[in-house]
Structure 1
Amino acid sequence: MIVYEYPFNERIRTLLRLEDLYEKFVFFLHQESPHQHHIALATIFEMLEVAGRADLKSDLLQELERQKQILLAYQSNPNVEPEMLNAILAEVDQASSALAAAQGKTGQNIRDNEWLMSIRGRTIIPGGACEFDLPAYYAWQQHPFERRFQDISNWFAPLIPLFDAIAIVMRLLRESGHAVKINAEGGSYQQMLQGKVYQMLRLSLDMELGAIPEISANKYMLWVRFTQQDGDEKPRSFEGEVPFELALCGF
């Protein structure tokens, strides 16, 4: 099964982009080549661009507090496992406290580092981080893996509370959706949402079908059109029936 996620608003779109960048960063950070560590560092610079919104931190803190109050209401429910609920509440509290304690603007430690900012300025230019452009950076790339790994980890460390908070908020959002099995006749599906507010949808289907969903939605209607693509050809409409699972997620 392959899962497609579609955000219904700009806030969730930003969080999904940051999630994607974080997964890329972690992968390349643990690779040994200096070229792969260059990508890890460049990915941090991309994170700063996406996370540059001044209200992202406050939005996350408000959402964590809201989720905490919702979870606390379940304490009196006999059908809820107390240990599991307390574990989730502890995670929310820990993430919220760490994020609130983070000082300054997101990634300010990197912005204050002139050397890193010189690298960031050159990476915007195609091929701009060559050894003759940035000899000091080239010399740093020759250090052993352990030294480069530790340096990048230290530069990224102040961002960890932000990404821990994002991970919890997105996990709770995904768990709020209940998957429903649907068959799209003629490669298309529509559903009226009747004004109910959702944050994101998750669509799962068998990748062997070769169907690719193109999704559009607002608070009134959801529309999914399936396409297929062979090789370098332009995508075309999927003519057959497409069985898939749909989960609408909302806080």
Structure 2
Amino acid sequence: MNGAGLQKFEHPLNERTRIYLRIESLFRKLGHSADLTRPFEYQVFFSSLFNMLDILEQVQVKADLGKDLEKLRLQYRAWMDIEDVDQQALLSILEQISQVHQNLMKTTRPGHSLKEDRFLSALKQRFFIPGGDCCFDLPALHYWLHLPLEVRCKNTHNWMSQLLPLSDALSLWLRLTRETARLKPQIARKGFMQSEMENSNLLRLEIPIEYGVYPMISGHKSRFALRFISFETNKNCEQDIEFSLAVC
């Protein structure tokens, strides 16, 4: 399927993967906004950072991701005994898993040091008040915004660097998970499809934009159901939809 005119969707099949995808999205926003090159980019940066800290406070991401990386390592180790497997590529992946796992487990709880930062702590308390980033609400923020750009960028990149072991570990797990399955052509008859699978984590879809639909998905690690909805009418689509699907 040609990449032009395609909309791409991912849907988690368990709660851990759901959290991982949310954190990945927040890391992406942090990366795009950390250089503060456009007006109000600081809002995207701090909003993403504080959302990240809330997730890390509520969920034992370090422990969960450590276990998932160890599962991956054992899977790849088992493939070492299979003929016709690229041993060098396999060893490289195993080395990457071991390195990010080691770096992750050496850290304290991700985000803990950022919670202790006095400026961030004071900012977070009022940042999500509607319209609450005015100078009279957050005078410290407005002082910071008047510092030289290089100083502010040094701050943002330093805050991000404290989450780097988590970012590296998460990126590797998601990349290897996505690579476990290739996209294959499918047809949703009258806009509907369901299927069974074993111990899957993630669905990836590519849908031609010309259909004017988006997917509504329900499922878990062993079964899922997919229904396409018309964007124009907000009702179930009744036509056959050709798309690509990977069950990872």
Letter in 2 for 1:62: K
Task: Give the whole-Å Cα distance in 2 for the aligned partners of 1:71 and 1:11.
Answer: 21
Match of 2:3 in 1: none
Letter in 1 for 2:24: E
* Structure 1 residues 142 and 33, CA gap change in structure 2 (3 angstroms): farther
1:35 aligns with 2:40: yes
Residue-by-residue CA offset, 1:83-125 (whole Å, 9 max, x unaligned): 222221221111111101112x221111111221110011121
Once superposed, what is the RMSD of the aligned Cα atoms? 1.8
Residue-by-residue CA offset, 1:30-71 (whole Å, 9 max, x unaligned): 341352023212211100112224522111112212211221
2:163 is paired with a residue of what secondary structure?
A: helix
1:67-82 correspondence to structure 2 within 5 Å: 67-82=72-87
Match of 1:227 in 2: 229
Find the partner of 1:128 among 125, 132, 135: 132
Provide the identity percentage.
30
Match of 1:61 in 2: 66
Match of 1:157 in 2: 161
Match of 2:246 in 1: 247
1:143 aligns with 2:142: no
User: Contact 2:8/2:205 (CA < 8 Å) preserved in 1?
Assistant: yes
Given the two structures, how large is their TM-score scaled by the length of structure 1?
0.90
User: Contact 1:41/1:152 (CA < 8 Å) preserved in 2?
Assistant: no
Task: Give the whole-Å Cα distance in 1 for the aligned partners of 2:222 and 2:78.
Answer: 30
User: Contact 2:200/2:222 (CA < 8 Å) preserved in 1?
Assistant: no
Task: Give the whole-Å Cα distance in 1 for the aligned partners of 2:148 and 2:95.
Answer: 38
Given the two structures, how large is their TM-score scaled by the length of structure 2?
0.91
1:89-104 correspondence to structure 2 within 5 Å: 89-103=94-108
Task: Give the whole-Å Cα distance in 1 for the aligned partners of 2:76 and 2:199.
Answer: 20
1:236 is paired with a residue of what secondary structure?
A: coil
Residue-by-residue CA offset, 1:209-230 (whole Å, 9 max, x unaligned): 2121111124554211111123
Runs of 5+ consecutive residues of structure 1 not aligned to the other structure: none
1:3 is paired with a residue of what secondary structure?
A: strand
1:247 is paired with a residue of what secondary structure?
A: strand
Runs of 5+ consecutive residues of structure 2 not aligned to the other structure: 1-5
Find the partner of 1:202 among 185, 201, 204: 204
The 4+ residue runs of structure 1 with deviation greater than 6 A are none
Task: Give the whole-Å Cα distance in 2 for the aligned partners of 1:80 and 1:240.
Answer: 42
Residue-by-residue CA offset, 1:102-158 (whole Å, 9 max, x unaligned): 12x221111111221110011121111211122221011112322111101112222
1:52 is paired with a residue of what secondary structure?
A: helix
Letter in 2 for 1:172: L
2:226 is paired with a residue of what secondary structure?
A: strand
Residue-by-residue CA offset, 1:151-174 (whole Å, 9 max, x unaligned): 011122221111111111111111
Find the partner of 1:187 among 191, 201, 207: 191
Task: Give the whole-Å Cα distance in 2 for the aligned partners of 1:83 and 1:117.
Answer: 46
